[in-house]
């Protein structure tokens, strides 16, 4: 239920959910609880995998972690600051600067080239970051092996390439945490594994925390810590691979282990 | 702040570049609406302006007062004495613009025996033809917006000329087989029994008529017996500041009455606005035109909003993605508004240009000139109105989609 004990650290955790719940009021005035009593601590640079089937509250958890929503009960701290105290503008600023999103459907902006897509978050930056947005975006795409595809439109890119553009976009402002929502859901197994490896490696290089929410236990297994989301509650899963390396064998084992766990 | 604005411009530009078809549709809808509105407003303004100028040519600019001095029981001391008394009174009251306005008509018929010298192009003269004569002073041009199309109008020094100067209309020239290019040209002064005069200018007559028209100075008329009779009854126009016109007019009349104890002096306002109502306001017609313009605009705005709303539905995911990058609600609102305003401003500019081209086309100008004497220039106010309205429509039509865009639930939008 709760995160494993942490070594004493003077720095506050990056994200901390303390008995956080999220419920919504239905038209008939009854209360529907989507998440209940969630405890989770995310430290800087940590990789976490959360597995859950559809309807278990994955989106809601993603909303909370991405500062797109607030818990209705309990507390959530962002770098030690209760999110309830953050204004919408402050939350948006943190989201732009410190949080990168990777989505299942890539969600590249249509009609914009790969370079324009990666430069898009930098339109919300200021100063040098804004002025040099194209150079920064080009460098990030180059880092993900797409230096030769800068001017391609998303429609001319393969699924794997599109997701790499999306990863470049998520990382371009050097976020403190990357939230990946079913990042391999729209890719075949092989491409998904390759893309996930890139995401894993890129976040490790940049020191960003990575929280992957997926229904695929094999993907979740890559994380240092993993959890299982069921019925709106977060259950600690088995320890993953501390190195977070994506070894096919490890993925296979993880898949089996989780299948058993799920059953 | 500057970065935010620059970034919003970059976003708006990308959006317009990508959605060329939508921009084009907006351009067409708003452009046509703004064009229609500008045409209607400009046409109304041009008609008003044209009518106003026509009225002013006929009856003087507001406030024009006419002072009449006549002698019923005693003999007149003569035009010069009356005029001197009037000029002194005008000077005392500080009135700058005053002119005799004594229209008459003289029989200018060519005698049946062809008594007028042959070979001077008089063939077109007809029996029983009259010439309208306007006995005036140089200030008449100011008071009545009288202008010349060739040559020049009178100056104060012209009264000293040995050959009396006259300004005539085109018909007058045509009747004598003369052209404006020949000015100044000498001709016989109609009704003078052989005096010659110099035509110094050509300009439109105050009233549309099939009789030729001629202006001459009051000093000249006083020396021509046939015309001098007309000046026994002195009719003087004064152009006065509207706010104090009545007091000034009465003051001048009282002064003249004191100077000429035998005279009957009366003064009253004679310009077209004398009855308080502005006859060129076009009344119900203007209201109807504005109503039609409003409807056209409403249709344009509805079409635009329709397109914008449909687009927003398609763009919700994109807006959600931008929100995930850290775009605030305000920033999204501004971007969506900006796109709308940028597109409609361009469309409005095109619409105004089209309206100008339409109203300045020879066919429309010819039609306009059938109603007013001269088609006035395209009113700048209509062009500005067209532009302001197009920006306003862009802002209004952008408002609803922009508000909707800020209310998007981010993750739902992204997953949609």
Torsion sign across C-alpha atoms A81, A83, A84, A86: positive
The reply to whether residue A66 touches residue B6, judged by beta carbons under 8 angstroms, is: no
- pLDDT tens digits for range A224-256: 898 999 888 998 876 554 444 443 333 333 333
Tokens 């008609």, residue?
B47
What is the rounded average pLDDT of the residues A124-147?
A: 90
Counts for chain B of helices (H) and strands (E), in that order: 13, 10
Q: How many residues does chain B have?
A: 416
pLDDT of residue A242: 47
Separation in Å, CA of B145 to nearest CA in chain A: 59
Residue B415 contacts A, CB cutoff 8 Å: yes
B62 forms beta bridges with none
Interface of B with A in 201-240 (CB under 8 A): none
pLDDT of residue B279: 60
CB A83 within 8 A of CB A70: yes
* Collapsed DSSP state (helix, strand, coil) of residue B101: strand
Question: What are B160's two structure tokens?
Answer: 């000293």
Q: Give the whole-angstrom CA distance, residue B409 versus residue B371.
A: 60
Higher-confidence position of A133 and B147: A133
Query: In the Cβ-directed half-sphere of B344, how many Cα atoms lie within 13 Å?
Result: 32
Residue A103 contacts B, CB cutoff 8 Å: yes
Q: Which of A84, A80, A46 is nearest to A64 (CA)?
A: A84
A15-262 maps to which CATH number? 3.40.50.300
Asked whether residue A73 carries a pLDDT value surpassing 50, the answer given is yes
Query: In the Cβ-directed half-sphere of A111, how many Cα atoms lie within 13 Å?
Result: 12
Query: How far are the Cα atoms of A199, B78, B230, B232, B234 from residue B222, in angstroms, in the given order?
Result: 105, 9, 9, 9, 11
Residue A24 contacts B, CB cutoff 8 Å: no
Q: Which of B277, B239, B278, B236 is nearest to B253 (CA)?
A: B236
What is the rounded average pLDDT of the residues A194-213?
A: 89
Domain borders along chain A are 15-262
CA dihedral B240, B241, B244, B248 (to 10 degrees): -20
Query: Measured between CB atoms, which of B17, B18, B325 is closest to A120?
Result: B325
CB A213 within 8 A of CB A180: yes
- CB neighbour list of residue B284: distance below 8 Å, 6 or more residues apart: none
**How many other CB atoms are found less than 10 A from the CB of residue B117?**
8
pLDDT of residue B110: 45
Higher-confidence position of B373 and A124: A124
- pLDDT tens digits for range A32-68: 899 999 999 999 999 999 998 878 888 889 889 999 8
Q: Which of A145, A144, A162 is nearest to A153 (CA)?
A: A162
The reply to whether residue B18 touches residue A95, judged by beta carbons under 8 angstroms, is: no
What is the pLDDT tens value at each position of chain B, 416 positions in all?
Answer: 677 788 877 887 787 777 777 667 766 777 887 888 788 878 877 777 777 777 888 888 888 899 888 887 777 778 888 888 888 988 888 888 988 888 888 776 544 444 444 444 444 444 457 888 888 889 888 888 888 888 889 888 888 887 889 999 888 888 888 888 888 888 888 777 778 888 999 988 877 778 888 898 888 888 877 777 777 778 889 998 888 888 888 988 888 888 888 888 888 888 887 776 666 565 677 678 778 877 877 887 787 788 778 877 777 888 888 888 888 888 888 888 888 888 788 888 988 899 889 888 888 887 777 666 566 777 787 788 888 888 888 888 888 888 888 887 776 777 66
pLDDT of residue B115: 40
Three-state SS across chain A? CCCCCCCCCCCCCCEEEEEEEEEEECCCCCEEEEEEEEEEEECCCCEEEEEECCCCCHHHHHHHHCCCCCCCEEEEEECCEEHHHCCHHHHHHHHHHHEEEECCCCCCCCCCCHHHHHHHHHHHCCHHHHHCHHHHHHHHHHHCCCCCCCCCCHHHCCHHHHHHHHHHHHHCCCCCEEEEECCCCCCCHHHHHHHHHHHHHHHHHHCCEEEEEECCHHHHCCCCEEEEEECCEEEECCCCCCCCCCCHHHHHHHHHHHHHHHC
pLDDT of residue A252: 36
State the average pLDDT for chain A.
83
CB B190 within 8 A of CB B172: no
Element (H or E) spanning B152, and its range?
none
pLDDT band at residue A136, thresholds of 50, 70 and 90?
very high
**How many other CB atoms are found less than 10 A from the CB of residue A205?**
10
Share of chain A above pLDDT 90, in %: 37
- pLDDT tens digits for range A101-115: 988 888 898 889 999
Q: Give the whole-angstrom CA distance, residue B137 versus residue A4.
A: 107
Q: Give the whole-angstrom CA distance, residue B370 versus residue B337.
A: 45
Q: Give the whole-angstrom CA distance, residue A209 versus residue A43.
A: 7
The reply to whether residue B321 touches residue A130, judged by beta carbons under 8 angstroms, is: no
Residue A4 contacts B, CB cutoff 8 Å: no
Query: Measured between CB atoms, which of B7, B327, B411 is closest to A59?
Result: B411
pLDDT of residue B375: 63
**What is the ipTM for the molecules in this complex?**
0.78
pLDDT of residue A22: 92
Query: Measured between CB atoms, which of A62, A101, A107 is closest to B317?
Result: A107
CB A102 within 8 A of CB A178: yes
- pLDDT tens digits for range B358-381: 888 888 887 777 666 566 777 787
Element (H or E) spanning B307, and its range?
helix B283-324
pLDDT of residue B173: 86
pLDDT of residue A262: 35
Residue B317 contacts A, CB cutoff 8 Å: yes
């Amino acid at each position: 239920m709760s995160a494993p004990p942490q070594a004493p650290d003077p720095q506050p955790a990056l994200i901390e959910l303390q008995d956080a719940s999220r419920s919504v009021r239905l038209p008939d005035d009854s209360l529907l609880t989507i998440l209940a009593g969630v405890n989770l601590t995310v430290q800087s640079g940590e990789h976490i995998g959360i597995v859950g089937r559809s309807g278990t509250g994955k989106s809601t958890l993603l909303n909370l972690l991405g500062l797109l929503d607030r818990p209705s009960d309990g507390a959530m701290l962002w770098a030690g600051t209760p999110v309830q105290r953050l204004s919408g503008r402050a939350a948006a600023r943190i989201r732009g600067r410190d949080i990168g999103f990777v989505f299942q459907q890539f969600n590249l902006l249509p009609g914009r080239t790969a370079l324009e897509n990666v430069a898009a978050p930098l339109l919300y930056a200021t100063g040098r970051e804004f002025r040099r947005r194209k150079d920064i975006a080009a460098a990030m795409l180059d880092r993900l092996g797409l230096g030769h595809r800068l001017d391609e439109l998303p429609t001319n890119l393969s699924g794997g390439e599109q997701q790499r553009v999306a990863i470049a976009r998520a990382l371009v402002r050097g976020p403190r945490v990357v939230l990946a929502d079913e990042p391999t859901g729209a890719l075949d197994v092989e491409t998904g594994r390759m893309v996930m490896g890139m995401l894993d490696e890129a976040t490790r290089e940049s020191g960003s925390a990575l929280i992957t929410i997926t229904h695929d236990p094999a993907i979740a297994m890559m994380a240092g810590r993993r959890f299982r989301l069921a019925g709106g509650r977060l259950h600690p899963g088995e320890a993953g691979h501390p190195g977070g390396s994506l070894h096919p064998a490890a993925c296979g084992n993880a898949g089996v282990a989780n299948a058993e766990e799920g059953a | 702040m500057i970065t935010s604005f620059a970034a919003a411009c970059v976003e708006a530009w990308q959006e317009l570049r990508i959605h060329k078809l939508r921009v084009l549709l907006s351009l067409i809808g708003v452009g046509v609406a703004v064009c229609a509105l500008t045409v209607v407003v400009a046409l109304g303004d041009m008609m008003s302006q044209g009518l106003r100028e026509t009225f002013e040519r006929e009856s003087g600019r507001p406030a024009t007062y006419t002072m009449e001095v006549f002698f019923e029981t005693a003999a007149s001391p003569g035009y010069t004495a009356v005029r001197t008394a009037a000029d002194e009174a005008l000077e005392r009251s500080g009135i700058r613009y005053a002119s005799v306005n004594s229209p008459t008509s003289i029989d200018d018929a060519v005698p049946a025996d062809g008594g007028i010298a042959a070979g001077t192009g008089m063939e077109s003269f007809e029996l029983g033809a009259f010439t309208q004569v306007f006995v005036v002073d140089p200030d008449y041009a100011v008071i009545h917006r009288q202008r010349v199309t060739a040559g020049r109008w009178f100056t104060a020094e012209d009264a000293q000329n040995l050959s009396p100067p006259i300004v005539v209309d085109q018909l007058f020239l045509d009747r004598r087989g003369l052209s404006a290019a020949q000015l100044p040209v000498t001709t016989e002064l109609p009704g003078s029994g052989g005096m010659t005069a110099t035509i110094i200018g050509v300009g439109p007559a105050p009233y549309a008529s099939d009789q030729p028209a001629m202006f001459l100075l009051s000093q000249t008329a006083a020396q021509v017996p046939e015309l001098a009779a007309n000046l026994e009854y002195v009719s003087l126009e004064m152009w006065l500041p509207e706010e104090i016109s009545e007091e000034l007019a009465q003051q001048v009349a009282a002064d003249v009455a004191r100077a000429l104890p035998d005279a009957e002096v009366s003064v009253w306002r004679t310009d077209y606005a004398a009855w308080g109502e502005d006859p060129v306001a076009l009344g119900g017609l203007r209201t109807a035109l504005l109503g039609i313009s409003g409807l056209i605009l409403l249709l344009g705005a509805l079409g635009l909003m329709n397109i914008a709303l449909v687009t927003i539905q398609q763009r919700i995911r994109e807006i959600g993605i931008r929100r995930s990058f850290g775009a605030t609600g305000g920033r999204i609102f501004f971007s969506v508004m900006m796109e709308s305003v940028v597109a409609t401003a361009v469309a409005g500019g095109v619409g105004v240009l089209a309206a100008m081209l339409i109203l300045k086309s020879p066919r429309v100008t010819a039609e306009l000139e059938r109603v007013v004497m001269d088609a006035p220039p395209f009113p700048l106010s209509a062009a500005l109105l067209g532009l302001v309205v197009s920006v306003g429509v862009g802002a209004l039509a952008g408002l609803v989609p922009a508000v909707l865009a800020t209310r998007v639930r981010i993750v739902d939008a992204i997953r949609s």
